[in-house]
A and B are shown apart, each in its own frame.
Chain A
Amino acid sequence: MKKIVFFVLPLLFCLGACSEFLDTKSMGAANVNNYFNNDQEAIDIVKILYSDTADEARWGRDIFWEQCGANDVVFGRTYPELYPLSTLTMGTTEKYQNWIYSKCYSTMATAQWIIVHLEEKKAKTPLTEIETRTLGEAYFFRAFLHFTIAYRHGLGDLGVPYKPWEEYENGYNNEIPPQQPSVMDNYMYILSDFKKAEEYLPWKGSIEATYGRADIGRAHKVSAIAYQAKVWAYMATWDKICKERNLEPWKEVESIVNRLENEFGRGLNPSFSQLWSSEFEDFWNKECCFSFPAAGGTFGTSQASGIVFAGIVLDYSGWVTTDGQNYSGWGQFKPTADIYNEMAKDNHEVDENGKPIKNERLAKSILEYGDVFPFLGEYFAYTDMSNVEAGFQINKYMDAFKHDQAVAKGYIPTSLNRCTPRVNFHMIRFAELMLFRAEACLHLYGTDKYGDINAIRRRSGLLEKTNPSWADLYHERRCELAFEMTDHLHDLKRWVVTGEQGVNLGALYDLAYAELTSHPNTRQTQWSPVKGIVTDKDGNVMYNEDGTPVFDYLYCRPVEKGGKLVCEYFANEGDRKMTSVEVDSVDPIYGYGVKDGKFIPYYARRNNPGAEWKEVPYPAYETPVKEWKTNKIAFKYSDTEITASGGLYKQVEY
C-alpha cells in the first residue's frame, strides 16, 4: 500500500499550498528591484553602453555609410541597395539609418535606467567612487546617443522624440516619448546631461593619471566637456532660434575650447602621424578627448577590442608577403580623387625632378597608385585590385599592419570577422575643437583669433595661411578630419542650412553647396608598362640611398621551359594573351630577361601600381544628380516608426 500514499500526496500538497507552489523564481537573471549592491554590478551594466556604441553595427562601420553622400569616400564594393544614400535620396532601403536610430534608443534605455536607479540610491546614501563614475558614464552616453539622433533627425521646427525617465513621477510608464517642439529643446537636454557627466566623471590632470591600464578609454570629464562644444556648434545651425532664445552658441564654443586648453591642458600632439600610431604609449596624448581604442589581438588570441573600422577600409584582396603572411580587409570605403586633390593643394615642396612632394597629412591619410607602404614586415606598392576601382585606400589606420608577424605580435587579430587593428580610434580630438573655435571666431570676430587653423597646418608641415578665411576653414576641417567619425556630411549640411538662414559664410556656403550637389571622381587605370618595387634576382628588395625601396619600371623575369629561358609577358597595351619569347641572358642584379641587349617591358592594367590613370566619375553615381533641399538636413524616420507611433510623430516632409 505504500504506492497509494505516494500517489495521494501530490493531491494534498496542492490543495494546501498552491500559492507557494506557483510563486516560482527565475534563475540566472538579476532582478530590476535589487541591483547596484556592489561596484561590480555597476561595472557590468555600463559595459553595454561602450560595446554597443563601438560595435560594427554602429560607430564601427554602419553610421559611416551615409558619408558616401558627401564627396570624401565612395563605396569600395558594389552595393546597389545603398546607392540612394549617395544621392541624398531616401528610398525604401535606408536600413542602416533605421537601424542606428533604433539602436541608439535601445542603448539609451539602459543609460536611462542606470540614471534613475543610481540617482535614487544617491538620494539615500552616498555613492562609491565607481558608482559615481558609472552615473557619469550613463549621463555621458545618454547625451552622446541622444545627440546623434537629434542632429541627424531633428530640425529647428521639429525635434526628436525624447523625455528623460527621471521626469516621470512614478517611474517610466512605457509611454511613447514626445517629439520635442524644436531640436533646440533636445540640445538643451543633451547639454544638461553632458554637464552632469562632467560633474560625475573623473579627471586627475591627464588621461593616464585618471585611469589605470584596465580602464583607460572610458569617458572622462574632458570627454563630456568636449562634446558640449560640439553640441553648441550644431545649435548655431538654427541661427534664428538662437537669437529668439538669446543664445550665443559661438561664444559658448569659444569659452569651452579655451577652458579645455587652459584648465585641462588639451592641445595638439606635436606629430600628426603619431595620432594613429599602433603603439600603446602613443595613445593617450594631450590631443585625445574621447576615443575607442582598438587593441589588435591579445597576443595571438582571437580576443579583440574597440573599433573595426580599420579592418573595414583595408583592401578586400589584401597583400601576401614572400614568407606567406597575408591579410585582407573588407574594402568597403575608398577615398575619392576629390579629397585627394583637396589635400594635395597643401603640397609645397618639389623633388629634384620638379614633382611635388606629398605633404605629411596627405601621405598619412591616403594611399594612391604606386605609393610604397610597409605591410607585414615587407614593402608593397599600392594598387587597387578590387572590382570597384577607385584608385585609393584610406591610410590613417594602417600603422598596425606594418609590423612583421603582426598577428603573432598582437597588433592585428586573427579573426577577419572582427578586425580591430591596434589604433586609438579618435571620436573627438582637440584639433576638431580648435577648428570649431576657429569657426566661432570667424563668426564672432571675422578672424581666426587664436591662430587655430595655422597651428594645425604647422603641425603637418604645411604653409601657413595669411588671415584664414571661410574657404580655409572648409579646406582645413575637411582635410584634417577626413575619414574620421566627425561627420563631414553633416558639417556640409549645417553650413548650407546656416547660410540659407541669411548668415554670411562667404565662400564656405558655396563650397559646401557644391559638394552636396555633385558626385565625386575616382581614378581608373589605363594600360601601361608595369611599375613596382624592384628586387634583385634573388628576390631581395633594392633600396634607395634614403632607405626607401626602389619603385620603378619592372621588366619580365624569365622562367625555364623545355630547357630554355623564356619570358612570358603582355607585349602591348591592351593585350589579353601573353607573348612568349626566348631571352639571350638574365641580368645579374635585377634578374630581368635580356633580349637584344634590352630588358623586356610588359604591360598591365589595374594590378600594376604604376599604371597610368585618369580621373572619372565613380561609375555607380552617374545618375541621378544629387539635389540639395533644406529639409534634407534630417534623415527621414522609418515608415514603421511613424506607423508605430499611431500618428503622434510628425514626419519630415520630402
Chain B
Amino acid sequence: MHQAYNLLTPLTAEEELEMRVNSYERAGLTVPNAWNPDMNPWITQTRTNWIDEVFRTSPFQRHTAALSYNEDKVKVRFSINYTDDQGILLNTYSTNLSTRFLGEFKLNDYIKVTEDATWSTGKSHGADTGSQTEGVLISALNMPPSATVYNADGSFGGTTTADPEYFRQYGSFFADAHGATINPVRQLIAQSIDGEGDRFFTNTSLEVGNIIKGLKFVSRFTYDVSTSFSKSFTPRRLEVGKSDANNYLNYGTGKGYSWKTENTLTYDRTFGKHTVGGLLATTASKGYSRSLSASGTDLASEEEYLRFLRYAKVVNASDGHSGFDANVAVIARAAYSYDDRYFVTASWRRDYASRLPKQSNYGDFPAVTAAWKLSNEGFFPKSDLVTLAKIRASWGRIGNLGSVPSNYKNANLGSSNELEWALPYGAEIADAAGNKVYFNSALNNKLTWETSEQIDLGVDLNMFRDRLSMSFDVYDKRTYNLIQGQTMNWTSSIGLSAMLVNQGEVRNRGFEATVGWNDKKGDWTYFVNANYSYNKNWVSDIGVMDANGNKGLWIDGTGYFRAIADFYRTEEGMPIRSYYLTECLGIFQNWDEIYSYTKDGELIQPNAQPGDLKFKDRNDDGKITLDDREYWGNAMPNSTYALTVGGSWKNISASVMLQGVLGAQALYAGKYEIYNEGSTLTNKEKRILTDSWVEGKTNATIPMYKRADANGNYSTPSTWYLEDTSYLRIKNVTLGYDFTSLLRKSEHFKSKNASMSVYLSGENLFTFTKYTGMDPEVNGFDAIKYPISRIVSLGVKLNY
C-alpha cells in the first residue's frame, strides 16, 4: 500500500479570493470584475480540493515463486515474479511479469555451460507528471478551488462554470480570472497514456578448465533485445482553461538490440606460499535501436474502440534509427600474493569506441592494487581483541564516454520532420512542411575519454571475536578531460550548438567509514550497522581562458526557470555547478529600512516597498544587478550517513533503518510558481497567506505578495530560493515473525525443510528536515517535483 505524503496545500476559494483582491490592491491596480464577488460570485465558494481529487492510497502487490533443482551435473533454478502497482495518482497503474531461468550443466570434467535467461513484460497506464505547465501535480495546485471536477451535464469542468444561465445573469464566465490550467482529473481519467514493454536477456557461458591445472577459458555471450509500444490519446478539451479543439492519438514503438561477447583466459595457481593469477580478455559489443512513431489528429469519434489512425483526419508517421554503436576492449591482469599476507595486482585495459573519430578512438586505463594483512604476520599478537587487520591501497584509471552520442564522429545535417504544419509559402496549397534540414552541429575531431584517476587507502579491522567489524577508506579522485559542451568561448552568435570538448579537471576527496556490531545471547540476536561518508568536491582546473588570459568559467545553460535565469556557474576552486546568486538579506520591514539602504545618498532599491526582499549590493555600485551574484556552494551533500539497528528474540525480528544527508541545499524554484502573484493568475499554496509579510510580521519568510514585481523579488536569482535540504529519514521499519518452527511441527513440512516467515514493513515513514518543499531529496533543483510515497507492506515468505 502506498500513499503520497507531505503534499502542498492549495488555497481554498475563500482564501484565494482574499489573496487575489489583496494582490491587485497592493499593486495599485483596479480589481477586475472577474475578482469582484458581486460581479462574479462563482469564485467565492470552494467546490473542490484538487490535491485530494488526484492522489489516493493505493495497493501494491508482489508475488515471487521459485523452483530449484540441484544435482551433481545439473543445477536449475526457475523463478517467476509478478508485480502490480496501483499508482498513487488516480487511475494509474503498472504491472510487470518476469521469469528467470538459471541453469548450470557440467558436460564432463572439463566443460561447463551455464545459461541465465530473463524474460519480462510490463504494462502501464500513466499520467503526465513531468510537464511544467500541464503536469497533474502543478495543475492540481494551479486549478481554482471554486471549479468543479464535472459540469452539471457530466462533462469535465474547466476553470470556470459553464452554466449558460450564469452567463446570462453575469454577462461572462470570466475565463481570464484564472490561468490556463487543465482540470487534472480530466488529465488522469480522459487522457490515456498506455505503455507496454518486453525484454529478453540471455547470458550464455562456456567454461573450459582443468586441462592444464589453474588454466581456465571462459567465453560468454549475451544478447539483449527489448521492445516498447506506447499508445496515448488526448481528447478534445472544450472547457474553459487550456482548451484545445483537436484530439490527438500517438503511437510509438521501438526495438533495441545489443550483443556482447567476452572471451577470458585465466590462470590461478598456488605454489606453496606463492599464489599467482593472470587474466587475458577481449570483449566486443554492438547495439542499435529502431523506432517508428505515428500520430493522428482530429479523430471524428473519441470512443475507445474508434481510437485508431484510420479515423484521424491527419496522420503523420516518422521512423528512426540510433545508428550502430560498437565497442571493443582488450584487458590484461596479473595478481600475486604471498602467504595470505601480501597482495598485489596490476591491470591494463585498452578500449576502442566507434562513437569517437578514428584518430582518437582508443584509451588506455591501467590500475594497481596492494594489500597487507597485518593480522597474519608472525609478530602480530593472536587474541580475541583483534581478529583481522588489513591495510589496502589502490590506484587506477577508468574512462567514461557516457555523454557522447553514438555515431558522434559522423558530421551530419540535422533534420526535423514536420507533417502537421505547413510552410509560410505556397499558402494556397499548404502542404505539410515535411523534412526540414539544417546545419547546427560543430564536430570535435579530437574528442577523447573523460578519465577518472583514483587513489584509495583503506584499513579493515575486525575486533572482539569478529563481533565488531570496521572498514575505513580515504580517497582522492581526479577526473580530467571532462566531457562537456563548451560554454565559455562559445557564444550564441556562433549559431551552432555547443561543441563537446575535453575540458578541465575536477577533484573529489573524501572519507568513508563502515562500522558494524552484531552479537547473540541466548534467544537474543542484535546488530547495529552504521556508515558515514564525507566528500569534498572542487574544480582543480577550469581548462579555459578568457580573451585576457584570465581563468574562465563554465556556464550552465540548464540554470533557468521562468524568469530566474543563469543560476549555475562553475569557477576554478569552487564546487562544480555552484549556485551563483544574489544574496537576499531578508525582508524590508518598513520604509526606514528602505530609505536607509543607500549608496552616496541614492536608494539602492528604489522600487522597493515594505515587505519586499532586500538584496546585497555586493559590488557596491548602488544598484542591484546581476553583477551582485556570488557563489553559494552546490547541491551535493557534504556528508551522507545511514544507521540500521535490528535484532530478534526467538521468532520475532525487528529492524529500523535511518538515512540522511548533511550540508546539502537546493534551489526551490517552484516558489516562483506557488508564491508569486506577479506572474500567473493560478491558485497558490497555503503558505502565501500564512508565511508572507504583512506589517509587523517580522518572522515572515515570503515577501508581501502583490500583482507586480517591481522590486524583482521573484525575478532576481537570489538566495531566497536556496534552502537547506539536509534531512534524516526513517527509511525503513520492519517487523517479522518466523513461523518455521511452528510449521515444522508437521512431519511433512519438516521432511521438506520448509520455512515460513511473515513481515510488516514501512518505508519512508517520516522525514526530519527544514526544507519547505515536498521532499528534500531533489538533487539541488525543485520545480515542484513529484512527491515521494510512503509504503506500508505485509509479506509472507515460504520455502518448500
Contacts and interface: CB of A to CB of B under 8 A. Distances in A.
Interface of A: 3-4, 7-8, 10-11, 13-15, 18, 21-33, 35, 41, 44-45, 47-48, 50-51, 53-54, 77-78, 80-81, 83, 91-93, 95, 101-102, 105-110, 112-113, 160-162, 174-177, 211, 213-218, 280, 283, 292-295, 298, 300-307, 316-317, 331, 385-389, 414-418, 422, 568, 576-578, 604-607, 619-620, 622-624, 638-641, 643-649
A93 B423 contact: no
B219 A32 contact: no
5 smallest A-B Cβ distances: which pairs? Answer: A576-B38, A217-B425, A109-B495, A646-B546, A305-B422
B263 A11 contact: yes
B710 to A, nearest CB: 7
B438 interface: yes
A620 B29 contact: yes
A577 B169 CA distance: 10
Contacts of A387: 32, 34, 176-177, 681
Interface in B312-357: 313-314, 319-326, 328, 352-355
Interface in B1-60: 28-30, 32-34, 36, 38-39
Contacts of B585: none
A492 to B, nearest CB: 25
Contacts of A160: 493
A50 B437 contact: no
Contacts of B487: 644
A418 B463 CA distance: 73
Given A4-B206, A48-B438, A106 B495 contact: yes
A343 B178 CA distance: 35
A32 B413 contact: yes
Query: For B429, B492, B712, which residue has the most chain A Cβ atoms within 10 angstroms?
Result: B492
A112 to B, nearest CB: 7
Contacts of B171: 604, 606-607
Given A22-B361, A23-B354, A414-B245, 20 more contacts: A24-B324, A26-B323, A26-B407, A27-B321, A29-B410, A44-B434, A45-B436, A51-B418, A78-B707, A91-B715, A174-B499, A176-B494, A217-B425, A293-B427, A302-B246, A305-B422, A387-B176, A644-B555, A645-B491, A646-B552
B65 interface: no
A53 to B, nearest CB: 8
B134 interface: no
A405 B488 CA distance: 55
A647 B547 contact: yes
B428 A24 contact: no
B427 A418 contact: no
A41 B489 contact: no
B176 A386 contact: yes
A214 B436 contact: no
Given A605-B33, A645-B489, A213 B413 contact: no
Contact of B313 (A51, A91, A300, A417): A300
A26 B546 contact: no
A141 to B, nearest CB: 12
A33 B411 contact: yes
A456 B259 CA distance: 74
A174 B496 contact: yes
A274 B243 CA distance: 33
Q: For chain B, what secondary structure do more than half of its interface residues adopt (helix, strand, loop), or is it mixed?
A: loop
Interface of B: 28-30, 32-34, 36, 38-39, 113, 169, 171-172, 175-177, 206, 219, 221, 243-246, 261, 263, 282, 284, 286, 297-298, 313-314, 319-326, 328, 352-355, 358, 361, 406-407, 410-415, 418, 420-440, 442, 487-496, 499, 544-548, 550, 552-553, 555, 557, 562-563, 565-566, 607, 626, 678-679, 681, 707-710, 712, 715-717
Contact of A303 (B29, B432, B710): B432
B418 A643 contact: no
Contact of A214 (B322, B415, B426, B435): B426
Contacts of A83: 708
Query: For A18, A29, A306, A604, which residue has the most chain B Cβ atoms within 10 angstroms?
Result: A29
23 contacts: A3-B113, A11-B261, A11-B263, A24-B407, A27-B322, A28-B319, A29-B414, A41-B437, A91-B715, A92-B717, A102-B492, A106-B440, A174-B499, A214-B429, A292-B424, A293-B427, A301-B314, A302-B297, A302-B420, A317-B172, A387-B34, A638-B492, A647-B548
A15 B280 CA distance: 13
Contacts of A44: 415, 434-437
Contact of A48 (B320, B422, B436, B550): B436
A15 B499 CA distance: 33
Contact of B30 (A105, A174, A619): A619
B420 A280 contact: no
A280 B430 CA distance: 12
A185 B277 CA distance: 72
A36 B427 CA distance: 26
A216 B320 CA distance: 32
Contact of A110 (B406, B439, B547, B707): B439
Query: For B324, B413, B415, B547, which residue has the most chain A Cβ atoms within 10 angstroms?
Result: B413
A609 B710 CA distance: 34
B427 A174 contact: no
B436 A51 contact: yes
Contacts of B284: 10, 13-14, 21
B612 to A, nearest CB: 14
A93 B490 contact: no
Contact of B282 (A14, A331, A415): A14
Contacts of A305: 421-427, 430
A176 B491 contact: yes
Given A11-B261, A26-B410, A161-B493, A109 B440 contact: yes
Nearest to A42: B437
B555 A640 contact: yes
A231 B544 CA distance: 38
A292 B261 CA distance: 57
Contacts of A31: 410-413
Contacts of A77: 176
A211 B426 CA distance: 9
Contact of B626 (A293, A623, A639): A639
A181 to B, nearest CB: 16
Nearest to B165: A559
Contacts of A645: 489, 491, 493, 547
A389 B32 CA distance: 9
A646 B413 contact: no
Contacts of A23: 354, 358
A416 B244 contact: yes
B491 A316 contact: no
A420 B440 CA distance: 28
B601 to A, nearest CB: 19
Given A213-B428, A216-B426, A301-B314, A80 B709 contact: yes
Query: For A107, A211, A303, which residue has the most chain B Cβ atoms within 10 angstroms?
Result: A303
A48 B495 CA distance: 14
Contacts of A644: 487-492, 555
B424 A293 contact: yes
Given A15-B282, A24-B354, A316-B175, A647 B438 contact: no
Contact of A302 (B314, B495, B562): B314
Contacts of A50: 423-425
Contacts of B438: 45, 48, 110
A292 B353 CA distance: 47
A177 B406 CA distance: 30
A647 B550 CA distance: 10
A22 B326 contact: yes
B354 A22 contact: yes
Contacts of B221: 7, 10
B563 A51 contact: no
Nearest to B218: A7
B148 to A, nearest CB: 21
A298 B219 contact: no
Contact of A414 (B298, B323, B433): B298
